[in-house]
Amino acid sequence: MPSMTPDVMISAQGIHKAFGGNEVLRGVSLDLLRGEVVAVIGPSGSGKSTFLRCLNHLETIDSGSVVVEGDVLAQNDASGKAHYVPEAQIRKIGHKMGMVFQSFNLFPHLTVLENLIEAPMLVKKMKRADIVPKAEALLKKVGLSEKRDAYPNRLSGGQKQRVAIARALAMDPDIMLFDEPTSALDPELTGEVLRTMRELANEHMTMLVVTHEMGFAREVANRVVFMDGGYIVEENAAEAFFANPQHERTRAFLQNML
């Protein structure tokens, strides 16, 4: 079904978010298109995680709008404050997005397979017989079939993160959000996780990736967004972004990353 206008998977407009008096997002707007991989980079504390968490309602926004595949999650009311849709709709929208965290967040008391099938069974009410083959296929895809019955504490960090990715995919999301998925890993383990993410990108998964991996951003992302101080300072097609950064802050940041 080819289409002239690309589908907007997430449209975030004018997002403001403060924690107490600390304004962490100061009007952040970003559209994520179907099949696009967008890398979000920027210094620590610039609001990258908060922005990601606002998209899937792990945080609430103060003002602005978030629309996911045409469904409004939140938008401003007449007074300019963000108003959220009812809980059932929030949940439905949440299921469109999978999220992978820096710290894996696997359930320690469940085996790898049980980690994958838990949410589809509890949240989506899928039958065990239907989800198990799918979970096994996902484990094969991330190269961890042999870890099916292992507990997370028997896995390396790279293996844990690949299980976390498979677990997110088991919910059949349309969009994957990654928050520094390799930052907690020993350097020799980042490659296997980045490879899995690259394969997802090759399959045209829509991905928003907060990362410090400049090689990944350059090679895999279509677009790169640089955040600093709660703003998007600069965004561009990946190649142009790295070849010709426009802002002094961007140049200084990239210099530091080399």
Ligand X SMILES: Nc1ncnc2c1ncn2[C@@H]1O[C@H](COP(=O)(O)OP(=O)(O)O)[C@@H](O)[C@H]1O
Orientation angle between helical segments 157-169 and 112-122, nearest 10 degrees: 20
Name which of residues 40 to 59 contact Mg ion (CB under 5 A). 49
- Nearer Cβ to ligand X (50/159): 50
How many Cβ atoms are within 10 Å of 25's Cβ, its own excluded? 26
Compose the 228-257 pattern: x for residues touching ligand X by CB under 6 A, - for all others.
------------------------------
User: Rounded to an integer, what distance in angstroms lies between the CA atom of residue 131 and that of residue 144?
Assistant: 17
Whether 13 contacts 29, CB under 8 Å: yes
Whether 224 contacts 254, CB under 8 Å: no
Q: How many chain residues bind ligand X (CB under 6 A)?
A: 11
Using CB distances below 5 to 8 A depending on partner kind, what does residue 47 bind out of Mg ion, ligand X, none? ligand X
Least spacing, CB of residue 233 vs Mg ion, in Å: 16
User: Rounded to an integer, what distance in angstroms lies between the CA atom of residue 61 and that of residue 124?
Assistant: 26
The label of the residue with tokens 């009311």 reads 77
Least spacing, CB of residue 100 vs Mg ion, in Å: 13
User: How many degrees, rounded to 5, is the angle at CA 126 between CA 123 and CA 131?
Assistant: 115
Whether 76 contacts 83, CB under 8 Å: yes
- Nearer Cβ to ligand X (46/65): 46
Least spacing, CB of residue 179 vs Mg ion, in Å: 6
Least spacing, CB of residue 258 vs Mg ion, in Å: 21
- Nearer Cβ to ligand X (34/212): 212
Least spacing, CB of residue 183 vs Mg ion, in Å: 8
Whether 20 contacts 215, CB under 8 Å: no
Residue 24 lies near ligand X (rule: CB under 6 A): yes
Phi-psi region of 229 (alpha: psi -120 to 50; beta: other; left: phi over 0): left
Residue 211 lies near ligand X (rule: CB under 6 A): no
Least spacing, CB of residue 25 vs ligand X, in Å: 8
Name which of residues 44 to 63 contact ligand X (CB under 6 A). 44-50
Using CB distances below 5 to 8 A depending on partner kind, what does residue 19 bind out of ligand X, Mg ion, none? ligand X
Least spacing, CB of residue 4 vs Mg ion, in Å: 36
- Nearer Cβ to ligand X (45/80): 45
- Nearer Cβ to Mg ion (102/111): 102
Indicate which single residue of 19, 86, 109, 122 sits in contact with ligand X (rule: CB under 6 A).
19
Q: What is the DSSP string of 99-131?
A: EE-TT----TTS-HHHHHHHHHHHTS---HHHH
Q: Which residues, 6 or more positions from 91, have their beta carbon under 8 angstroms from its beta carbon?
A: none
Task: Report the interface residues with ligand X, using CB under 6 A.
Answer: 19, 22, 24, 42, 44-50
Task: Report the interface residues with Mg ion, using CB under 5 A.
Answer: 49
